[in-house]
Amino acid sequence: MFDTDFINLTQKNISTEHLCCIIRSKKIHPGVESKRLWLSERLKEGHVFRKLNAKATVFIEYAPLENAWIPIIGDNYYYIYCLWVTGEYKGKGYGKSLLEYCISDAKEKGKSGICMLGSKKQKHWLSDQSFSKKYGFNVVDTTDDGYELLALSFDGIIPKFTQEAKNHKIKNLELTIYYDFQCPYIYQSLKTVKEYCETNSISCSLIQVDTLKKAKELSCVFNNWAVFYKGNFETVNLLLDVETIKRILKK
């Protein structure tokens, strides 16, 4: 597969390139544009967004762990936020090419390794961890409720969740959601939560994570979205529809 099949986002092309989201809209979509603004700032920090040179959902997104908006720490690592290949593009080697590009990039830059978020049971909003394990990724840290940190180490150094990330508790008892605008779906999920809570007179705290420091200090395995209720961590699933909200509020 030729490198010309892919393109990396830069400050020069980010305003016009398709961002690989499955959101389809002929009009400017606020979620996609929020992602574009967020990503534009992150590119300055070494964030990499590599995509198929087409209007498709085929991409990998990763960043130096020191600058990654997740409560994971480690020396000289890359963190993979997303690796997705969907629809008709599956089974054509695109996922393999993208992951191998990340591995090659990490080695060329002298990184100690690459890590990503996983779980004991594959969750549909996390990248396929069985695929990454074929390349040597191993579980190097866990939380009590089944989330895992997967890492491919080149020199024996391994990353870990922050101690606070394993806490999974906050003082606020009402429905509380921490979010940033990395994913285009966050805009719609926030809208759904706001409308449901306002219609049903439910107290809700929506807290934007707008700095790296805030992301690193969160009491959960934040990956751009995290839901708490009655002080307990519930999920990082940002596809929060009404039925899911109801289920959480029944606890």
pLDDT tens digits, one per residue of 44-90: 999 999 999 988 899 999 999 999 999 999 999 999 999 999 889 98
From residue 102, alpha-carbon distances to 96, 127, 247 in Å are 10, 14, 38
Q: Which residue has the higher pLDDT, 145 or 100?
A: 100
**Of 137, 162, 187, which residue sits at a domain end?**
162
* Structural domain total, the chain: 2
Cα(135)–Cα(99) distance, integer angstroms:
9
Whether residue 111 sits in one domain with residue 9: yes
Residues comprising the chain, all counted: 251
Instruction: Please check whether residues 130 and 196 belong to one and the same domain.
Output: no
Give 161-217 pLDDT, tens digit per residue. 999 999 999 999 999 999 999 988 898 899 999 999 999 999 999 999 999 999 999
CATH number at residue 13: 3.40.630.30
pLDDT in tens, 210-225: 999 999 999 999 989 9
pTM over 0.75: yes
Task: Give residue 169's domain range.
Answer: 165-249
For every residue of 158-192, DSSP letters joined together read --EE-TGGGT-B-S--SEEEEE-SSSTHHHHHHHH
| pLDDT for position 130 | 83
The predicted pLDDT at position 137 comes to 95
3-class DSSP assignment, residue 131 = helix
